[in-house]
């Protein structure tokens, strides 16, 4: 860890000198000026991590989801702009009033790439696995599906699902990567079978198939020539314009960006905020797609004694200058958060007033709570110092840099914030204990109201540790009730109201400090056309065409 940190500075020196030259050579790449989509060509796409599994419920990890999104179709399509649902494999659907039964009518002309039909039987088998999991094969339940009971095949193109309790988020769940439909044979694979090295065995009905793989470094996708069942709103209804895509894993940030602007790659994912300027040169552009879920933020663990006092939580909230963090560490593509949820997420309500930066207020709240500044500037009470630990969230952009700045800001009000950097094992243990990690840095993307339950509910991600992992005790039962209401209220308006109640409650209680609305930042060459992302910013390649 410390190596990568110190070498980063060295790279900056190396890269910035090289950049002076890059500036001169940029601009020579440019489109040929075609306005109609061109068929053909292979796209060079750079990822920064290798995929770990193509089991669709594991699609939350971006490198996994980026592949699953393009090789599988879903029952319904969620339009990334309107967030409305459109037919895809299902032509239409209905559910009962309390959202415990769903019926889907399916297209009858869809086949998997191994030639087997995509019918009601296989759809039922998909959701039985995703909804229930299979511990014997180490295949976990999909996070997107709640209260699943069983499926029923009505006829060859009709399938019905039953739930033990209202599951109003299920329709959206069927549109997510986690519900990518795979063939009958694929569903029989074990956890090992979904791992790298076997990728060509993962058979979907999507616009691309996996045609090659080099473990840990490369995955090749090939267009499916007979693809003809795109969602209605896609401009391209037929086979993908591209012949194929080479996804190459390039872990080093500067190499990804350099490869793009030197013409060796067409699209790169994960352009870091500090590298954006390198891509914003003639011939290239940045695409920052919002993840539209629970914002990147800090969860204050209420089970911890120090944080059980609302005044301490409010003081920490007021002591953080969030705008300064964004201005210093991030870019304009990282909008300041105004609620626990992203402003483009369904059910969003503005709770900005609770997160205002006010150092004087922060200090007086701490005084009131009995925390007195010591000789070293750190406050203490009953001989205990106001020292808190926050985790470095490795998957989140520039987490360490942001937390370092926040810890400097908090030091000004007498709070000592330590950043946990540890090996994976220690880390995995520490973040489950409110007495080891008091503040948890994370985010989650999903465009359904259920997302807020995913993040905070005791048996989901439980980021506040509202449920103590050791004793099983629930610290704040009211929060649990509010979250359950979001996931199990069938009426749409009432569900939105339930989500807003949670957002307001979290803000009032100062449980969560949202930082920014997290994007996925892609860099692309101007001769790449039609590149877009699904509702939580995974790439869609079937509309892409090249003009070079």
Q: Which of residues 43-72 bind other proteins (CB under 8 A)?
A: 44, 46, 50, 52-53, 60-61
Q: Least distance to other proteins from the beta carbon of 318, Å?
A: 27
Q: How far apart are CA 463 and CA 453, in angstroms?
A: 10
**Residue from 231, 170, 157, 187 nearest 56 by CA:** 187
> Cβ distance 515 to 337 under 8 Å?
yes
Q: Least distance to other proteins from the beta carbon of 70, Å?
A: 19
SS3 helix, strand, coil % of the chain, rounded to 5?
30, 25, 45
Contact window for other proteins (CB under 8 A) among 30-38, 326-334, 454-462, 517-525: 454-462
At 354 the three-state DSSP class reads: helix
Q: Least distance to other proteins from the beta carbon of 544, Å?
A: 18
∠ CA(327), CA(328), CA(332), 5° rounding?
A: 35
Task: Give the chain's end-to-end CA distance (angstroms, integer).
Answer: 40
Q: Using the rule CB under 8 A, which residue among 94, 109, 155, 192 binds other proteins?
A: 192
Where in 222-261 is the site for other proteins (CB under 8 A)? 246, 248-252, 254-255, 258-259, 261
14 binding other proteins? (CB under 8 A): yes
The nearer residue to other proteins, 7 or 328, going by C-beta atoms, is 7
Number of residues that bind other proteins (CB under 8 A): 73
Where in 417-446 is the site for other proteins (CB under 8 A)? 423-429, 431-432, 442, 444
In the numeric block, the tokens 């979290």 are attached to 506
Q: Using the rule CB under 8 A, which residue among 7, 91, 108, 233 binds other proteins?
A: 7
The nearer residue to other proteins, 65 or 206, going by C-beta atoms, is 65
The nearer residue to other proteins, 8 or 478, going by C-beta atoms, is 8
At 275 the three-state DSSP class reads: helix
The nearer residue to other proteins, 84 or 429, going by C-beta atoms, is 429
11 binding other proteins? (CB under 8 A): yes
216 binding other proteins? (CB under 8 A): yes
Where in 17-36 is the site for other proteins (CB under 8 A)? 17-18, 21-22, 25
> Cβ distance 412 to 373 under 8 Å?
no
Q: Using the rule CB under 8 A, which residue among 107, 150, 160, 218 binds other proteins?
A: 218
Query: One symbol per residue from 317 to 346: x for binding other proteins (CB under 8 A), - otherwise; what is it?
Result: ------------------------------
Q: Least distance to other proteins from the beta carbon of 251, Å?
A: 5
CB crowding 418-429: b at 16 or more within 10 Å, else e:
ebbeeeeeebee
459 binding other proteins? (CB under 8 A): yes
Transcribe 180-239 into DSSP letters: --B-HHHHT--TGGGSTT-GGG--B-SSEEEEEEETTTEEEEEE-TT-----TT-S--SS
Structure tokens at 548: 């070079």
Query: What is the DSSP secondary structure assignment for residue 336, as one 8-state letter?
Result: B
CB crowding 368-387: b at 16 or more within 10 Å, else e:
ebebeeeeeeebbeeeebbe
Q: Least distance to other proteins from the beta carbon of 402, Å?
A: 19
Q: Using the rule CB under 8 A, which residue among 103, 211, 217, 344 binds other proteins?
A: 217
Contact window for other proteins (CB under 8 A) among 33-41, 301-309, 328-336, 457-465: 457-465
The nearer residue to other proteins, 265 or 302, going by C-beta atoms, is 265
Q: Least distance to other proteins from the beta carbon of 279, Å?
A: 13
Q: Using the rule CB under 8 A, which residue among 235, 469, 478, 494 binds other proteins?
A: 469
Q: Using the rule CB under 8 A, which residue among 214, 225, 280, 368 binds other proteins?
A: 214
> Cβ distance 451 to 294 under 8 Å?
yes
Three-class HEC string of 108-149: CCCECCCCCECCHHHHHHHHHHHHHCEHHHCECCCCCCCCEE
Where do the DSSP E strands lie in 54-115?
Answer: 76-78, 85-87, 90-95, 101-106
274 binding other proteins? (CB under 8 A): no
Structure tokens at 357: 């930066």
Structure tokens at 33: 């000026």
Q: Least distance to other proteins from the beta carbon of 247, Å?
A: 11
**Residue from 203, 231, 209 nearest 107 by CA:** 231
Where in 127-186 is the site for other proteins (CB under 8 A)? 133, 135-138, 140-141, 143
Where in 116-135 is the site for other proteins (CB under 8 A)? 133, 135
494 binding other proteins? (CB under 8 A): no
The nearer residue to other proteins, 300 or 444, going by C-beta atoms, is 444
Contact window for other proteins (CB under 8 A) among 96-104, 112-120, 211-219, 508-516: 211-219
The nearer residue to other proteins, 69 or 468, going by C-beta atoms, is 468
């Amino acid at each position: 860890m410390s190596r990568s940190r110190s070498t980063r500075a060295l790279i900056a020196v190396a890269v910035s000198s090289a950049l002076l030259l890059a500036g001169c050579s940029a601009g020579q790449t440019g489109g040929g000026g075609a306005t109609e989509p061109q068929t053909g060509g292979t796209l060079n796409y750079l990822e920064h991590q290798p995929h770990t599994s193509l089991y669709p419920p594991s699609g939350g990890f971006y490198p996994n989801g980026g592949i699953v999104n393009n090789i599988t179709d879903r029952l319904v399509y969620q339009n990334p702009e309107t967030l409305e649902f459109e037919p895809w494999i299902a032509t239409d659907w209905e559910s009962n009033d309390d959202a415990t039964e769903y019926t889907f009518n399916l297209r009858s002309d869809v086949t998997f790439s191994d030639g087997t039909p995509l019918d009601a039987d296989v759809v039922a088998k998909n959701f039985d696995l995703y909804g229930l999991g299979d511990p014997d094969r180490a295949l976990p339940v999909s996070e997107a599906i709640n209260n699943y009971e069983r499926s029923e095949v009505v006829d060859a193109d009709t399938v019905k699902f039953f739930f033990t309790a209202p599951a109003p988020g299920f329709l959206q769940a069927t549109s997510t990567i986690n519900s990518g439909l795979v063939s009958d044979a694929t569903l029989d694979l074990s956890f090992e079978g979904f791992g790298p090295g076997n990728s060509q065995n993962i058979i979907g009905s999507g616009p691309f198939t996996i045609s090659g793989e080099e473990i840990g470094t490369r995955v090749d996708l090939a267009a499916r020539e007979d693809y003809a069942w795109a969602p209605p709103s896609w401009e391209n209804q037929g086979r993908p314009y591209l012949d194929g895509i080479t996804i190459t894993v390039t872990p080093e940030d500067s190499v990804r960006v350099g490869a793009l602007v030197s013409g060796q790659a067409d699209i790169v994912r994960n352009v870091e905020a500090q590298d954006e300027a390198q891509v914003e040169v003639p011939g290239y552009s940045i695409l920052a797609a919002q993840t539209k879920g629970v914002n990147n933020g800090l969860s204050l663990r209420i089970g911890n004694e120090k944080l059980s006092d609302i005044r301490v939580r409010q003081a920490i909230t007021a002591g953080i200058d969030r705008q300064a963090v964004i201005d210093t560490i991030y870019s304009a593509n990282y909008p300041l958060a105004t609620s626990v949820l992203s402003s483009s997420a369904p059910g969003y309500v503005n709770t900005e007033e609770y997160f205002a930066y006010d150092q004087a207020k922060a200090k007086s709240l701490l005084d009131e709570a009995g925390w007195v500044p010591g000789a070293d500037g750190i406050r203490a009470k009953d001989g205990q110092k106001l020292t808190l630990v926050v985790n470095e969230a490795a998957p989140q952009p520039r987490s360490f840099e942001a937390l370092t700045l926040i810890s400097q800001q908090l030091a000004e009000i007498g709070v000592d914030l330590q950043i946990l950097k540890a090996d994976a094992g220690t880390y995995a243990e520490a973040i489950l204990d409110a007495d080891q990690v008091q503040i948890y840095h994370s985010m989650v993307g999903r465009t359904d109201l259920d997302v807020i339950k995913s993040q905070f509910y005791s048996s989901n991600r439980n980021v506040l540790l509202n449920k103590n992992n050791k004793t099983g005790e629930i610290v704040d039962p009211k929060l649990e009730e509010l979250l359950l209401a979001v996931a199990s209220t069938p009426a749409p308006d009432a569900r939105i109201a339930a989500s807003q109640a949670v957002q307001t409650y979290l803000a009032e209680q100062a449980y969560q400090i949202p930082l920014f609305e997290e994007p996925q930042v892609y860099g692309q060459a101007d001769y790449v056309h039609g590149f877009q992302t699904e509702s939580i910013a995974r790439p869609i390649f079937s509309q892409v065409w090249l003009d070079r």
